[in-house]
Amino acid sequence: MTDQGDAWEQRLAALWATLDDNDDADFVVKMETLAAERGAGDAVALFERAAANDSTGRPHYAVPLYRQALAAGLPGDRRRRAVIQLASSLRNVDQAAEAVTLLTAERDRTSDHLDDAVTAFLALALTDVGREREAAAMTLTALARHLPRYNRSLTNYAKAIKPKADAPQK
């Protein structure tokens, strides 16, 4: 990243640090202004605009911006965050089935430090589409890795409550 890019990222981080100190509409305007410096079709700018709308309770504005950011080739960590955040926004606009599809594909695509976030948001989407047992099993399995004890027991209990693969799902 260039010095100019580093400076922009620093100003971006400073703006995000003020999220709770700003009126939602003011925050979005400030993000729009900062993002405009990168150009209209810039994937990072689109992502940050989407995230600003998402974080201020405007998922219907965020969804198309996340889609544009991903289509524009959003790089690195932001790409996976965009998938997670897009899926979360889709849930909020009553499109949970699409969120399940996106997050299931994301789980199969790669593995990194955001795995538990993918799992958590997938569990929420599964709950929204009536697949609560699968959501609970998935959540417990993810949680088991972080416990100081009972990992094996919790993992086995999670397997026991997960619906069978051949069982019809709601």
Would you list the DSSP string of 38-96?
Answer: T-TT-HHHHHHHHHHHHHTT-HHHHHHHHHHHHHTT--HHHHHHHHHHHHHHHHHTT-H
pLDDT in tens, 7-54: 999 999 999 999 999 999 999 999 999 999 999 899 999 999 999 999
Q: What is the pLDDT at residue 5?
A: 79
Q: What is the mean pLDDT of residues 115-126?
A: 96
DSSP-derived letter for residue 131 is: -
**Residue 82: pLDDT over 80:** yes
Q: What is the pTM of this model?
A: 0.89
- 13 or 162: whose pLDDT is higher? 13
Q: What is the pLDDT at residue 104?
A: 97
Return all residues near 33 (Cβ < 8 A) that are at least 6 apart: none
Could you tell me which of 13, 97, 93 has the C-alpha nearest to residue 57?
Answer: 93
pLDDT in tens, 95-111: 999 999 999 999 999 99
Domain annotation for the chain: domains and CATH numbers? 3-95 (1.25.40)
Q: What's the token pair of residue 127?
A: 């709950």
| Cα–Cα distance, 16 to 20 (Å, whole number) | 9
| Cα–Cα distance, 104 to 138 (Å, whole number) | 12
Across the chain, mean pLDDT equals: 93
Return all residues near 66 (Cβ < 8 A) that are at least 6 apart: 46, 47, 50, 54, 82, 85, 86, 89
- In the Cβ-directed half-sphere of 69, how many Cα atoms lie within 13 Å? 30
Q: What is the pLDDT at residue 163?
A: 76
